A = this chain, B = another copy of it.
């Protein structure tokens, strides 16, 4: 997505549009939200919106980036498994909250036919979180708590993928119980002792 030109941007309209997009996505399924609906709720013309954003997914992505900078820190109590469980529990909660689940699944659905959205999700949402987790894992690797012959980013992928699998394929509910299974298997392995 091209960055909109800040000079041409009225910050108050921008905020109204972002808020409208978030509100509408909370009230209805992302698939049902339209550019017209966002414009109407924000009290701006549809052309204003199209001048700044190419799609509703682009608006929602910017709204989420603006608002979700808080809980980026990864816990570090010295116990890597406990810290992973703590942070992964937050992800389980996000996937089980109807509003944030709707944002996430709607954006990921949009990404399947829009490479710009896909890239923005990776750059602004997935990658920063992967890095936070990878940094915590590197500390554990240095402390000898985790094998250091595997790239930390690869470990992050293996740990979080089963949450996304259930979330996007709708096979079973994403759950805290699932974390026990993931963490136990990831740390102990499948080979019989």
A residues neighboring B (CB under 8 Å): 29-32, 105-106, 108-113, 115, 118-119, 121-122, 126-127, 130, 144-148, 150, 154-155, 157-158, 160-162, 164-166, 168-171, 181-182, 185-193
A27 to B171, CA, bound (A): 30
B112:A190 contact, CB within 8 angstroms: no
A118:B170 contact, CB within 8 angstroms: yes
Q: Which DSSP category, helix, strand, loop or mixed, fits chain A's interface?
A: helix
Counting from the closest, the 3 A-B pairs by CB-CB distance are A189-B189, A31-B113, A161-B165
B-side contacts of A165, CB under 8 Å: 157, 160-161, 164-165
This chain: copies in complex: 2
B-side contacts of A160, CB under 8 Å: 165
Shortest C-beta distance, A129 to chain B (Å), equals 11
B-side contacts of A130, CB under 8 Å: 171
B113:A30 contact, CB within 8 angstroms: yes
Q: A106-B112, A170-B118 are in contact. Are A190 and B187 (CB under 8 A)?
A: yes
- 20 more A-B residue pairs beyond the given contacts A105-B112, A145-B192, A164-B169, with a C-beta to C-beta distance below 8 A: A31-B112, A32-B113, A106-B112, A106-B113, A108-B169, A109-B109, A109-B112, A111-B168, A122-B169, A126-B169, A127-B171, A148-B192, A154-B181, A158-B158, A160-B165, A161-B164, A164-B168, A186-B189, A188-B189, A188-B191
